[in-house]
Each structure stands twice: as C-alpha cells, then as structure tokens.
Amino acid sequence: MNSIYFPLFLFTLFLFPALTFSQNITFEGKVISLDTKEPLPYTTIEIKALQTGTYADDKGYFILSIPEKNLQDTLEVYCLGYEKKTMKMSELTSSGIHTIELINKVVPLKEVVIKPKKSKTIFVGSTETKPWSKEVANIFGAQKGCYLANKKGKTGRIKAVSYYIFNLGFTNAPFRVRIYSFDREKKCPGADLLKENVIVSNNNGPGWFKVNLTKYNLEFPNDGLYVMMEWIYSGDQYYYDLEVTRKTKDGKSEKKEILKLYGPVLGALMKQKEGYISNRGLGTNWQKFDLYYKGYVNVMINAEVEIQPE
C-alpha cells in the first residue's frame, strides 16, 4: 500500500557493483551566502550521474563520499532563493573543509492590484479527514506531493497549504514546503514558485497541519501547481522501524520485513486521476504513481487560495 524509496546506499550498490574494488574519497564542505557570509542550512547537494546526494545541516556543513573514478562528475549545489552552482567534484580534492558560496537570486516582484471588493477563499486539493493509506520515505531528500488543478481558471493568491500528517513515525519532524509550477511538456513539477526556504514542524500531532504562506505573495497559476513535502535530514533521532508483510514472488506465502523509515508520514487517498502522486529523491528525476489497484492514489494536501472577484 505504500510507495517506498530505496535507501541511498542501495542506489550506490545497484549503480556501482564494483565499488569494493575502488577507493572512495570523502569531502567536507560548508555552504554560505556570498553576500552575507552566513551559512545556508539544509542546502541540497546532488550528483545526478550517481543518483545520490546529501543535505547541509542546520549550520551549512555537509559530508559527501564518492568513488575516486567519479571525480569528473558534476556536483549541483542548490538552495531556494539562490543561484544553483555546478562544479566538478575534482574541484574539491584538496583537504580541509571547502567553502561553497551561493549568489542570492534577484526575483522581480509582480505588481499587486488591490480591488475594493470582498475576496473569496477556495480550497483546492484534499480536505478529507480519514486517510485510506499512508506515504512514507526511507531516506531524507525524498519529495512527495500532488498536482492541484485550477479548474475554474480563477486568478488569486495562495494563503496557505496544508498537509495531512499520518499517525506514524515522527509527526513533529521538520520538513520543507515545496511549491512548483506545472511543466506542460513533461507533465510534471516545473519551476520553483516558492523562492525562500520554508521549513516547518508540526507540533499538533496527527491530522491536518496548516502552513501560512500569505507573506510570500504567491500567485495561483492558471495551469495549477504542485505542492510537495520534502523530507530533510534533521538528525538520526527521526529514523524509525516499520514491520511490513509482503507476498513472495510466487504469491503463495508471505514474509515480514523491517523497513528503516524517516521523519513524518503523509496521509493518502484513492482519488481522481489528475491528482496522482509525484515523487523524486536526491539526484533523480520526477516520477508519478498514476495507477494503483484500478484506482489513483493521492496524498492528502490542499491549498487555500484567495480569489479576487472580477
């Protein structure tokens, strides 16, 4: 009933079966703002050729280990609100802690027209209170969410997004809010609409958790948008074990497994096709779960949109 990410170490084993015969090199780094020299917490560091990566911690530090033969692979360093930086791993071969500086991205603000009419608030996405199942992640760096259509073609501003936190794992583990445009060509999440890091923790236990986004002045696009949860690494204390039962390949018997999972868990529903789950992990491309047991699985996420009357 759940879609599970492979752990990062499994990706490595699948892609490099001969790793035990090559030497690994470990890098330590710190990501800071070029302008302020302040650390950039929870920055994403990806190596797409290896389909892996890591995060900086809350003080901007990170550690990354790769095979020596992959030193010419490209490293991508990305933080919301900053220009993405790409560099060869070979640029980090010297010892010590490497400082990576990111340039602040200038985002032009759109003109906001104030109309002397009373606005209307609508909800797009799920508002149910009884999840059918759950969506988990067993590595930090996973993103899961769904497409929220603008069915009525109304313009407006996003006041808030809400996530249904399932009663499993660590309901209070921090996560990052991600909001994307709709990529018409690829039919998947496109550009980041939220230009700043919004990292939140739910201290209310299981159920709906609302994140106020009014101050970010986000437009609700005509094409709709994707709202995602991003699991970020905030300490080993947020790992937990879950026992699951799976059928064997012949389908005649069952076996139990213990999964190592991380952080919060999203509620899920069997719902309409257009809201299917999209997901990705560090260094990987977007994928969708578009059919499941003759139905469509959706995570329980919604957006609160303020619509201006015409």
User: Structural domain boundaries of the chain?
Assistant: 8-102, 120-307
Summarize the chain as % helix, strand, coil (round to 5). Answer: 10, 45, 45
* CA quadruple 76, 284, 298, 171: dihedral, nearest 10: -60
Residue 239: the pLDDT is 92
Q: What is the pLDDT of residue 247?
A: 75
Q: What is the pLDDT of residue 34?
A: 93
Strand partners, 309: none
Read off the DSSP letter of residue 235. -
At residue 139, the pLDDT reads 72
Query: To which CATH superfamily is domain 8-102 assigned?
Result: Carboxypeptidase-like, regulatory domain (2.60.40.1120)
pTM: 0.81
Confidence at residue 255, expressed as pLDDT on a 0 to 100 scale: 80
pLDDT tens, N- to C-terminus, the chain (310 residues)? 333 333 333 232 223 333 334 588 888 899 999 999 999 998 999 888 888 888 898 899 998 888 888 888 888 998 988 999 998 888 877 777 889 999 988 766 555 555 556 778 999 999 999 998 899 987 778 899 999 999 888 888 999 999 999 999 999 999 999 999 999 888 889 999 998 899 999 999 999 999 999 999 999 999 999 999 999 988 889 999 998 887 777 767 678 889 899 999 999 988 655 556 788 888 888 887 765 555 667 899 999 999 876 6
CA angle 295, 299, 302 (to 5 degrees): 120
pLDDT for the residue numbered 108: 61
- Residue 174: C-alpha distances to residues 80, 140, 142, 237 (Å): 17, 11, 13, 12
CATH number of 120-307: 2.60.120
Q: What is the pLDDT of residue 272?
A: 59
Long-range CB contact pairs, 292-295, < 8 A, 24+: 295/270, 295/271
What residues have CB less than 8 Å from 125, skipping those under 6 apart?
146, 148, 227, 275, 301, 302, 303
- Residues paired with 296 in a beta bridge: 271
Q: What is the pLDDT of residue 310?
A: 63
- Report how far residue 199's alpha carbon sits from residue 197's, in angstroms, rounded to the nearest whole number: 6
Quote the pLDDT of residue 219. 92
The predicted structure's pLDDT at residue 19: 36
